[in-house]
Amino acid sequence: MQFLWIKCEDVLPGVGLGVLTVALFLGAFFFYHEVQDSPEVERNCRMAAEATNNSEEFKMKGHSAFIVGYTGAVGKVLTKELAKAKLFKKVLLIGRREIDLDDDIGNEFEQKVVDFEKFDDYADIFKDVKYGFCCLGTTRAKSGAQGFIRVDHDYVMKSAELAKTGGCKHYNFVSTQAADKNSSFLYTKTKGQVEEELKAIQFERLSLLRPGVLLGEREESRPGEAVAKFFLKPVAYLFPTAITTPMDVVAKAMINNMLAPVDRPVELYENKAIHQLSGVSKGCSGSKSQDGGDKK
């Protein structure tokens, strides 16, 4: 068989061999990251188990919290998980617009519309709110390079500064896998810079989470991400903690981490650790999930 000047019988074996080689290489890469030991797996799994035991005592203290970026994909999932857990007497949802909340989101959730360009004018929102979650973020494709930096760096840092001044003790930030202030890529470089600057604010407790490729439903369409997720579905099934993270896993990890006692002011959780903290990781087969059921 011949296509134009190309003889398929001469080309196809080489192409097939090339595809097989790439597939084997990628398989080995994902397998390595899946089986690679997490340095603190016992600690992470213990924290996930302790979270359930600590939740009732936590509720009784009547704390308040805020979520910056609650209209985004991770923020929405976190809002739903906090609504299920009913841990706070009040949760302030901070964003640039109001959205229709699900019916199961209780009255303790209050939307606060702000102009991020005039964030200082809304400093009172953060007064006496002890727990903060930052899920704020955009993409370069959507906002341009400068717009991306404005949202993912400037707005995040301003929210952290206002929160610290208002009395926030525990600030949780959703970063990204491979975040590095010295990276040559804008996305990972910006996230790495934010991590370092958040440390300088010196919260009593700072939790930095670095999830992999986020899996879940998004309101906005991102064609490139949609294609990537299509090809990553089998990877996520075979190697669930290698490079992907369901959004509900990120949310549950943040909640469990908040509920568990810690012995350090700054915590950095890579992708595998996030799965363990969530209470649904196969790597924590001996512990209990957040809802009290046995792990699979």
Catalytic residue among 130, 187, 189, 199: 187
Catalytic residue among 70, 131, 164, 191: 191
Looking from the CA of 64 toward its CB, the CA atoms found within 13 Å total 16
Residue 47, number of CB atoms within 10 A of its CB:
26
Those residues with Cβ within 8 angstroms of residue 229's Cβ, 6 or more apart along the chain or in another chain: 213, 215
Those residues with Cβ within 8 angstroms of residue 296's Cβ, 6 or more apart along the chain or in another chain: 282
For this structure, is 187 an active site residue? yes
- Cβ atoms of 216 and 73 closer than 8 Å: yes
Q: What is the rounded (10 degree) CA torsion for 196, 201, 203, 208?
A: -20
- DSSP 8-state class, residue 61: T
For this structure, is 269 an active site residue? no
What three-state secondary structure class fits 140? helix
Catalytic residues: 187, 191
